[in-house]
Amino acid sequence: MGKFIDFLEKRVSNPMARLAEQRHLLAVRDGVVSSLPFIIVGSFFLIIAFPPLPESWGITQWATENADQILIPYRMTMFIMSLYVAFGIGYNLAQSYKVDPLSGGQIAVASLLLTITPSVVEELGFVLPMQYLGGSGLFVTIIVSILSVEIFRICKQRNITIRLPEAVPASVSRSFEALIPVAIVIMLMTLITIIMGVNLHALVEKLTVPLVTAGDSLFGVLVPVFLITFFWSFGIHGVSVVGSVARPLWETYLLKNGEAVASGASELPHIAPEPLYQWFIWIGGSGATLGLVIVMLIFARSKYLKSLGRTVAVPSIFNINEPVIFGLPIVLNPILVIPFIITPIITAVIAYLATSVGLVSPTFIKAPWTLPAPIGAYLATGGDWRSIILVLVNLAISVVIYLPFLRIYDKKMLAMEQNEEQ
């Protein structure tokens, strides 16, 4: 057993964790994460425009009549997410290369905008179509942001820049240093989009269809669920590793669902935005450990597990479960790792099936992850009361799965405590 764990840790877990530390993946992750406040705030305007209240109420009718105005903050945040993400990726990647991060962010934004052709509308003048600045633009955003910062970085490192005398203030000379790389990036993007007439967005969309479809399938949900608890079994923050690869997909689903709601569609296109994981699968944190904490509070007889249960109960309600994972510990604990991996797989299957057959609405709102699960689930589904039932069902299932394993572990702890007292 020890050898097998050693093997897994050395050959599987460590290399994958290191991959997630790769510079570009890290920049993409941090870039997307930096846009989360805008996604969270923007998505709440979707709730205001489509309140989870009876249709006959005055406030619902007012919201429906004024939906276009109410949705403007949504359109300027979540709806054009890619613009914020481009800046975030450019900034973070430039920073990791120790070149001017501000210029990095700006160059990335310019590249993204140059993938879109403005059109002329009478009375309005030039109009920039927003279609590709939302969820569908995320992949192109990642590609052009990385590409343009790489050009910037190479120019800087090879000294292909304009140097001003040292007497010139730093902020002025910094912006001149970016002059040549900016010119190269802009000419390149102009060449692609305008002279060659390539629509990068349409091209990339075609190429990523299989990926987007696969990530939204049941299998596409179970793979990250398994990997995240697998990493945690070794004490590695699973979401931070797996999320750096999967997050662009998760955000695409969320934004597409939000766009569908805003345009009044009756069916949402995607099942698996991150809130599906957050509220229905990981109740209480990765591994669905709130169920484990409940079991501990009610059934534990050993002193250690009893007092641990009491101290971790409140953080667990708010989905902070590192004290549970390291405290029990679950990490490298052959008894508890089993339900820790199995439980979320089962809750994931149930959540996925319930959503795909329409028993619960797909999620389209990003609520802060520290909310208690029933509240978060209710908000994330735009006020579907059935989501609360799904949370409670999955919680009950997690209690049932954790119970026998915790009992075994509790007996062991109890025996140890009695030995020590003797």
Partner 1 sequence: MTKVLFVCSGGMSSAIVVNTLKKEAEKHGQALEVKAIGSSEVAAELENNWDVVMVAPQIKHRFDNIKKEADAHGVPCGPIPPQAYTPLGGPTLLKTLQELVK
Out of 218, 320, 388, 397, the residue judged to bind partner 1 by CB under 8 A: 320
Amino acid at 164: L
Place of tokens 């667990």: 316
Residue 77 φ then ψ, to 5°: -120, -85
Q: How far is the CB of 331 from partner 1 (least distance, A)?
A: 6
Out of 194, 307, 385, 418, the residue judged to bind partner 1 by CB under 8 A: 307
The answer to the question of residue 368 lying near partner 1 (CB under 8 A) is no
CA distances in angstroms from 187 to 105, 143, 219, listed in the order given? 18, 17, 42
The answer to the question of residue 22 lying near partner 1 (CB under 8 A) is no
CA distances in angstroms from 360 to 5, 390, 391, listed in the order given? 39, 8, 11
The answer to the question of residue 232 lying near partner 1 (CB under 8 A) is yes
Q: Are 352 and 221 in contact (CB under 8 A)?
A: yes
- Nearest-angstrom CA–CA distance, 135 and 94: 24
Q: How far is the CB of 130 from partner 1 (least distance, A)?
A: 29
Q: How far is the CB of 240 from partner 1 (least distance, A)?
A: 5
Out of 7, 10, 21, 127, the residue judged to bind partner 1 by CB under 8 A: 21
CB contact set of 246 (below 8 Å; sequence gap of 6+): 215, 224
Q: Are 145 and 93 in contact (CB under 8 A)?
A: yes
| Nearest to partner 1 of 231, 405 (CB atom) | 231
Which string of x and - marks every residue 238-267 that binds partner 1 (by CB under 8 A)?
A: --xx--------------------------
Q: How far is the CB of 8 from partner 1 (least distance, A)?
A: 14
Out of 99, 236, 268, 341, the residue judged to bind partner 1 by CB under 8 A: 236
The answer to the question of residue 311 lying near partner 1 (CB under 8 A) is yes
CB contact set of 141 (below 8 Å; sequence gap of 6+): 82, 85, 86, 89, 108, 112
The answer to the question of residue 28 lying near partner 1 (CB under 8 A) is no
The answer to the question of residue 370 lying near partner 1 (CB under 8 A) is yes
Out of 17, 93, 178, 413, the residue judged to bind partner 1 by CB under 8 A: 17
Please choose, out of 13-21, 208-216, 276-284, 388-396, the segment that lies near partner 1 by the rule CB under 8 A: 13-21
Out of 10, 18, 301, 411, the residue judged to bind partner 1 by CB under 8 A: 18
Rule CB under 8 A: which residues touch partner 1? 14, 17-18, 20-21, 30, 232, 235-237, 240-241, 304, 307-308, 311-312, 315, 320-323, 325-327, 329, 331, 370
